[in-house]
């Protein structure tokens, strides 16, 4: 190899070396930029994770309340069914008690009893003539008795 060839070869190698150095410098700048972008993205991720944690802690009470409210209609429905059953049972007992009381009052009136006005439902009593006589005794209270009974007869009150 003569000197001209060596010079060309060296020149070619130098050009190649310069090209490789330029590419290496460009790649290093790209790596630096990517490192900077990565750091920025990691910082953003940390900030978003912190914000997500904050939002989750703030929404937790709402989720608990939502669950409670979502389950509440079922609880209310059970309570309403229980109250309906209790109301129906009370209505049945009250109706039965009222019928028994009315029967007892009718029998007592037939026997000549005087019943206080406040204790008698005149529209519900089953009495032979369907009428009662109202009078006031010496104690100042109003009473009922059957018309054929004297107010001065044996005094019985309920």
Q: Which residue ranges of the chain lie beneath pLDDT 50? A: 153-158
Query: Residue 144: beta bridge partners?
Result: 115, 134
- The CA–CA distances, whole Å, from 41 to 31, 36, 48 equal 15, 9, 10
Q: What is the 3-state secondary structure (H, E, C) of 94-128?
A: HHHHHHHHHHHHHHHHHCCCCEEHHHCCCCCCCCC
Q: What is the pLDDT of residue 55?
A: 93
Q: What is the pLDDT of residue 7?
A: 83
Q: What is the pLDDT of residue 128?
A: 65
Q: What is the pLDDT of residue 1?
A: 66
Q: What is the pLDDT of residue 54?
A: 94
* Domain residue ranges in the chain: 3-145
**What is the model's pTM?**
0.42
> Which two three-digit tokens encode residue 141?
């209270």
Q: What is the pLDDT of residue 129?
A: 62
Q: What is the pLDDT of residue 97?
A: 87
């Amino acid at each position: 190899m003569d000197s001209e060839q060596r010079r060309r070869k060296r020149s070619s190698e130098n050009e190649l070396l310069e090209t490789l150095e330029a590419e290496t410098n460009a790649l290093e700048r790209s790596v630096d930029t990517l490192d900077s972008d990565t750091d920025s993205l990691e910082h953003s991720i940390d900030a978003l994770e912190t914000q997500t944690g904050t939002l989750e802690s703030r929404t937790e009470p709402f989720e608990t309340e939502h669950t409670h409210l979502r389950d509440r209609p079922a609880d209310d429905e059970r309570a309403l069914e229980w109250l309906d059953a209790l109301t129906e049972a009370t209505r049945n007992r009250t109706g039965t008690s009222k019928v028994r009381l009315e029967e007892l009052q009718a029998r007592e009136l037939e026997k000549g009893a005087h019943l206080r006005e406040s204790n008698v439902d005149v529209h519900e009593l089953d009495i032979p003539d369907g009428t009662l006589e109202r009078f006031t005794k010496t104690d100042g209270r109003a009473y009922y008795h059957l018309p054929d009974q004297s107010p001065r007869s044996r005094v019985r009150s309920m």
